């Protein structure tokens, strides 16, 4: 499998040269910016997006807060699981980095000696993006958009083939979606228990909105609060 995409006469390599060729024509400062964004910036952005989604879900509250937070917790966990799954895949495929087998690439990040397929960065960002989509559609779409940008950056930087990125997207999506039912079954009871805790419950739902339990005084208080707010 080590010979995968070693010939320059296939669309994978052609697209690699086309995208990486943009780096040769770009100003030095832009390449340095793409280097930081592709290596660290978008990963940091995904973490901030998860925190922003958690804050939004917490403030919104409601009966579904615990399950929404459980889905949100699954997003970074899915990324971690996907990276672990990628370890044997890389060892089986053994595809060298593109700059080791193709000349003329403008490599923006040095020191990459591990195998190329599949891209960890693409896997992590897409797993988080899809996981976010399960928890919150708007934040999920933003996360998926950031993942697509991450994939472009990895090829632009000359450290991955386009199919490395596509493989990462597929792996991250598969792990996030296929294991989601099991993850939700395990995580939702945990977040529900946290929600019922006197202080830790604020991690799940803002105390500004009481938990509505049908047929109880709590429900009546919640209705009255909404009426006053109106």
Q: How far apart are CA 30 and CA 115, in angstroms?
A: 27
Region 55-71: mean pLDDT is: 79
Question: Which 3-state string (H, E, C) describes 28-97?
Answer: HHHHHHHHHHHHHHHHHHHHHHHHHHHHHHHHHCCCCHHHHHHHHHHHHHHHHHHHHHHHHHHHHHCCCC
pLDDT at 227 over 50: no
| 197-208 pLDDT, tens digit each | 777 777 777 755
- The pLDDT assigned to 217 comes to 47
Q: Which residue has the higher pLDDT, 206 or 7?
A: 206
Is the Cβ–Cβ distance between 75 and 135 less than 8 Å? yes
Name which of 43-57, 64-78, 146-160, 204-218 the model is least confident about. 204-218
What pTM was computed for the model? 0.81
Q: Is 113 exposed, middle or buried (0-12, 13-18, 19+ CB in 10 A)?
A: exposed
- The pLDDT assigned to 51 comes to 93
pLDDT at 156 over 80: yes
Q: How far apart are CA 70 and CA 205, in angstroms?
A: 12
- The pLDDT assigned to 40 comes to 92
- The pLDDT assigned to 202 comes to 76
- The pLDDT assigned to 12 comes to 87
**% residues pLDDT > 70 (the chain):** 84
Report DSSP state, residue 17: H
What are the residue boundaries of the structural domains of the chain, listed by start? 11-107+115-229
């Amino acid at each position: 499998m080590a010979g995968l995409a070693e010939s320059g006469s296939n669309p994978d390599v052609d697209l690699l040269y086309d995208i990486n060729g943009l780096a040769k024509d770009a100003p030095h400062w832009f390449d340095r910016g793409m280097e930081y964004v592709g290596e660290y910036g978008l990963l940091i952005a995904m973490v901030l997006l998860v925190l922003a989604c958690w804050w939004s879900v917490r403030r919104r509250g409601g009966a579904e807060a615990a399950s929404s937070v459980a889905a949100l917790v699954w997003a970074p966990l899915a990324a971690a699981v996907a990276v672990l799954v990628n370890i044997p895949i890389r060892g089986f495929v053994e595809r060298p980095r593109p700059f080791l087998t193709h000349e003329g690439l403008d490599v923006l990040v040095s020191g990459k000696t591990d195998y190329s397929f599949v891209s960890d960065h693409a896997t992590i960002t897409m797993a988080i993006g899809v996981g976010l989509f399960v928890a919150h559609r708007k934040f999920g779409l933003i996360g998926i958009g950031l993942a697509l940008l991450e994939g472009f950056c990895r090829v632009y930087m000359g450290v991955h083939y386009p199919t490395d990125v596509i493989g990462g997207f597929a792996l991250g999506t598969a792990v996030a979606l296929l294991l989601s039912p099991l993850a939700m079954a395990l995580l939702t009871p945990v977040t529900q228990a946290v929600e019922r805790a006197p202080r830790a419950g604020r991690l799940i739902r803002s105390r500004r909105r009481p938990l509505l339990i049908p047929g109880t005084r709590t429900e009546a208080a919640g209705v009255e609060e909404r009426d006053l707010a109106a």
